[in-house]
Amino acid sequence: MATATLIKAGSGASDFEQFGATDTIPAANLPARATISPSQITSNQNDYSPTGWADADVVRMDFDANGRAITGFAAWTNGGIKRIVNISGNYGYIPAGSASSSAANRVSGVCDHIIAPYGVIDLVCDTTSNLIRVVYNSFNPLAPFFRGIFHSVCPGATLGGDWGIVGFGISGGNNGDVNPTSTLPGTWEINTSTSATGAASLYLPKGANTPIRFGTAHLVSITYVYFAVLSDGTNTYTFTHGITASNSGTSNTATNSAIIRYTHGTNSGKFEGVCIGTGTANVDLGITVAANTPYVLAVCVDKARSEVRFYIDGSLSGVLTSQIPAAVACGDRTLINKTVGTTSRGACVAYKTFFAVL
Amino acid sequence: MAEAKPLKAGSTGFEQFLSTDTIPATALPARSTISPSQITSDQDNYSPTGWADADVVRLDFDTGGRAITGFAAWTNGRPKVLLNISGNYGYIPAEHPDSTAANRAIGTSDHIMQPYSGIVIEYDDTSDRVRVVSNMFNAAVLGFGNLRGHYYYVSAASATAGDWGDFAFNQSGTGAALGTAASTATQAGGWQLSAGTTTTGACAIFFAKNLLNPAFFGSAHLIVSFYIRIPTLSDGTQTFTTSVGLVPTPSSAALNVNNSVVVKYSSGLNSGKFLAVSRDNAGAETTADTGITVAADTGYVVTVCIDKARSEARYYIDGVFVARITANIPASAATGQRAVIVKSAGTTSRTLVVASLMFNSIF
């Protein structure tokens, strides 16, 4: 690249002059923004690159009603911001870090970027990191128009009767609040109490506790959690968080679940992604759990029930495509179950979020 | 500035561009991207190498919760995309005095820069300020709009304690109670905190029920906000004080609490203007005049921010920066959010009306 000065007509009949420092090109002579309108998206798209993509400034996207993914976009080199406009009344989504697209075409993010009906997303191609970043997303489940379900709670009362949206499951376990420290947030605690088989849970929502079906909507469940004391051979517990058909129950092996699991004796004490359908599928999420360290755990299930993605601290840590839950009603749950020992162990939960997009 | 038509090759020589001729997009300069060094301290008048003409700025924050208090003004008229490429938050405090006035950002309090997300800013050379055009951060959407933290928000509704899981209240003295205040032709309805009919009555509302203190000062960036009005002002006969802000163990209705950052109002305090207060672990206070004289039955949005480093408390009223305090900041101690009215003279009940309140921590 080299900078060259433009030429304009000079004061004489055939004189030329270089553009001066204060000369500007008329706006009409600048190129208009390039807009493209690709064909309707009727299947998941990898390395998305419709005709005209490379130089498009505005991309008018049309999604069908099936909740389609764009797992990545062909990288572009003009440095421009691309504005994705969803012209349809249906949502789409961009799963952050999806391995279905080439590494340089993947999108950064903490879980799934929902492209809201009639919404807008702005993208930048970061050629230093070799990935695509979302600069702006109009999706907001708290906005007046939201076709879906959204629940989010932070710790407070420990009596079920005080809450309208969060439920407490207890079977030999208990719950309480844990004060913040100089480094850790204040939380609820779900604990095993002194029972060798104690269990306790927090689930969303209370009442209509399984408000949506797998396969009806795009589902996301997130929690912010830490463990004061890890599981060990003397006091052994299993922690699970995610989406399950049995969220008011306290079994951590319930059929039709998509969850993140931790216990010391499985997967070398690392978080594990688990799907329980007619059988069980597992994926190592690669993060060894440490005591008194908060983690953001997210589980995403697409409408097509084609895959479950597991995010830890805003990074895609694993994907499962088998043993996906059946099309049954489900809700969100965070659960601890004791199997050995009578000293109470707990999971400290700073927030829970569960939403479904239809 | 003057418009000049560039020349192009014509059939018989050079010709001026016609109104329908456009320069090829490939002949335009590419967007300029810069990747400044990691931000490990607060930045004033931020201007890394290449800033003036940068279109995309890749920011990398450490875990300290750093501020960019302003940006060197730029003149090319283009927006700048600020990408937070790190897993840590940063923030842009609106109208921060540590940057030159013309470099400050406009806003109603702090613009949080969420991990792995973006903010778009433009320079408004009419107002001589930086404006945030868009921000991916959404405090209320925990998990993806606000990756790590708390968000409590409620607008006035039930005054029955058992109806709530996170909101709570307390009162002391005969007749002190939480009720509801009807909307008026110009004001929103709200909870009515009545100080009752004793000379020392008090009523408080707070986050969070049972837990009391969601976070430590120094563990996270903390922002609280209240939408309040005072139907009848304090005077020498019926004297009361209101206090809204961050207070340890907010279930207490005591007016002055060590390790707190609040905005107070009373007739005999700061000439009836809102007073910003920071009180440390030993009870020593630093105050700042907000300059806002309280009017009866007038709604105010009062916002208090304190950074993770506990270097300063900032105060905003109706979305305008009004004060900053850097001394007698609370110690590293647990805190919650509270609005309280405390009577000190007279036996006629006086009230504080709170239409909504919000607590946000960002870890």
B297 and B207 in a common domain: yes
For the residues of B240-254, what is the DSSP string, one character each? Answer: EEEEEEEESSTT---
Q: Would residue B240 count as lying in a domain? A: yes
Q: Would residue B164 count as lying in a domain? A: yes
The total number of structural domains that make up chain B: 2
Q: What is the CATH number of the domain that holds B232?
A: 2.60.120.200
Contacts of A110 (CB under 8 A, 6+ apart): A96, A296, A298, A311, A314, B115, B116, B143, B144, B147
Query: In chain A, what residues touch B83 (CB-CB under 8 Å)?
Result: 124, 126, 133, 135
Nearest residue to A274 via CA among A235, A231, A320, A239 = A320
Among B105, B135, B165, residue at a domain's last position = B135
Region for residue B100 given its phi and psi (left: phi exceeds 0; alpha: psi -120 to 50; beta: otherwise): beta
Among the partner-chain residues B23, B117, B163, the one whose CB lies closest to the CB of A29 is: B23
Which tokens sit at A10? 């000079």
Q: How confident is the model at residue B59 (pLDDT cuts 50, 70, 90)?
A: very high
Q: For chain B, say whether A64 makes contact (Cβ under 8 Å).
A: no
Q: What φ, ψ does residue A55 adopt, rounded to 5°?
A: -110, 10
Nearest residue to B281 via CA among B255, B254, B261 = B261
Among the partner-chain residues A111, A165, A180, the one whose CB lies closest to the CB of B214 is: A180
B186 and B120 in a common domain: no
- Tokens 């009596």 locate to A159
pLDDT at residue A30 in the model: 87
Domain range enclosing B301: 149-362
Q: How many other β-carbons are positioned within 10 Å of the β-carbon of residue B78?
A: 14
pTM, whole model, 2 decimals?
Answer: 0.95
pLDDT tens for chain A, 358 residues: list them.
Answer: 677 888 888 877 668 888 888 888 888 898 888 999 999 999 999 999 999 999 999 999 999 999 999 999 999 987 889 999 999 999 999 999 999 999 999 999 999 999 999 999 999 999 999 999 999 999 999 998 999 999 999 999 999 999 999 999 999 999 999 999 999 999 999 999 999 999 999 999 999 999 999 999 999 999 999 999 999 999 999 999 999 999 999 999 999 999 999 999 999 999 999 999 999 999 999 999 999 999 999 999 999 999 999 999 999 999 999 999 999 999 999 999 999 999 999 999 999 999 999 9
Q: Would residue B345 count as lying in a domain? A: yes
Q: With a CB-CB cutoff of 8 Å, which residues 162-191 of chain B face chain A?
A: 162-168
Chains A, B: CB pairs < 8 Å: 254
Letter for the amino acid at B273?
K
B154 and B94 in a common domain: no
Q: Would residue B144 count as lying in a domain? A: no
By the 8 A CB rule, do B39 and B16 touch? no
Q: What is the SS3 assignment for A103?
A: helix
Write down how long chain B is.
363
Q: CA–CA separation, A313 vs A305, rounded Å?
A: 23
Bond preceding residue A205 cis, omega within 30 of 0: yes
Q: With a CB-CB cutoff of 8 Å, which residues 197-216 of chain A face chain B?
A: none
> ipTM of this model?
0.93
- Asked if pLDDT for residue B149 goes beyond 80, the answer is yes
By the 8 A CB rule, do A107 and A113 touch? yes
B253 and B113 in a common domain: no
- Tokens 């968000």 locate to B151
According to DSSP, residue B76 is labeled: S
Among the partner-chain residues B22, B30, B165, the one whose CB lies closest to the CB of A29 is: B22
CA separation (Å) from A166 to A14, A163, A171, B144, B165?
80, 6, 17, 20, 9
Q: With a CB-CB cutoff of 8 Å, which residues 86-105 of chain A face chain B?
A: none
Q: What is the SS3 assignment for B221?
A: strand
Q: Would residue B142 count as lying in a domain? A: no
Q: Cβ of A154 and B142 within 8 Å?
A: yes
By the 8 A CB rule, do B114 and B221 touch? no
Q: For chain B, say whether A186 makes contact (Cβ under 8 Å).
A: yes
Among B80, B111, B135, residue at a domain's last position = B135
B342 and B314 in a common domain: yes
By the 8 A CB rule, do B2 and A12 touch? no
CA angle A348, A351, A356 (to 5 degrees): 135
Q: Would residue B188 count as lying in a domain? A: yes
Q: For chain A, say whether B334 makes contact (Cβ under 8 Å).
A: yes
B173 and B32 in a common domain: no
By the 8 A CB rule, do A33 and A57 touch? yes
B109 and B182 in a common domain: no
Q: Would residue B24 count as lying in a domain? A: yes
pLDDT at residue B93 in the model: 98
B182 and B127 in a common domain: no
Q: CA–CA separation, B27 vs A20, rounded Å?
A: 18
B110 and B155 in a common domain: no
CA separation (Å) from A318 to A106, B224, B245?
15, 36, 42
B169 and B310 in a common domain: yes
B207 and B346 in a common domain: yes
Residue of chain A whose Cα is closest to the Cα of B335: A180
pLDDT in tens, B95-143: 999 999 999 999 999 999 999 999 999 999 999 999 999 999 999 999 9
Q: Would residue B143 count as lying in a domain? A: no
pLDDT at residue A32 in the model: 86
pLDDT at residue B123 in the model: 98
pLDDT at residue A13 in the model: 65
Query: In chain B, what residues touch A334 (CB-CB under 8 Å)?
Result: none
Q: For chain B, say whether A32 makes contact (Cβ under 8 Å).
A: yes
Q: With a CB-CB cutoff of 8 Å, which residues 236-295 of chain B face chain A?
A: none
Q: CA–CA separation, B152 vs B223, rounded Å?
A: 11
Q: What is the SS3 assignment for A135?
A: strand
Instruction: Name the CA radius of gyration of chain A, rounded.
Output: 25
Q: CA–CA separation, A354 vs A67, rounded Å?
A: 18
B210 and B274 in a common domain: yes
**pLDDT over 90 percentage in chain B:** 90
Contacts of B160 (CB under 8 A, 6+ apart): none
CA distance A203 to chain B (A): 14
By the 8 A CB rule, do B103 and B71 touch? yes
Among B73, B102, B135, residue at a domain's last position = B135
According to DSSP, residue B29 is labeled: P
Residue of chain B whose Cα is closest to the Cα of A97: B116
By the 8 A CB rule, do A217 and A332 touch? no
- Asked if pLDDT for residue B2 goes beyond 90, the answer is no
pLDDT in tens, A124-148: 999 999 999 999 999 999 998 999 9
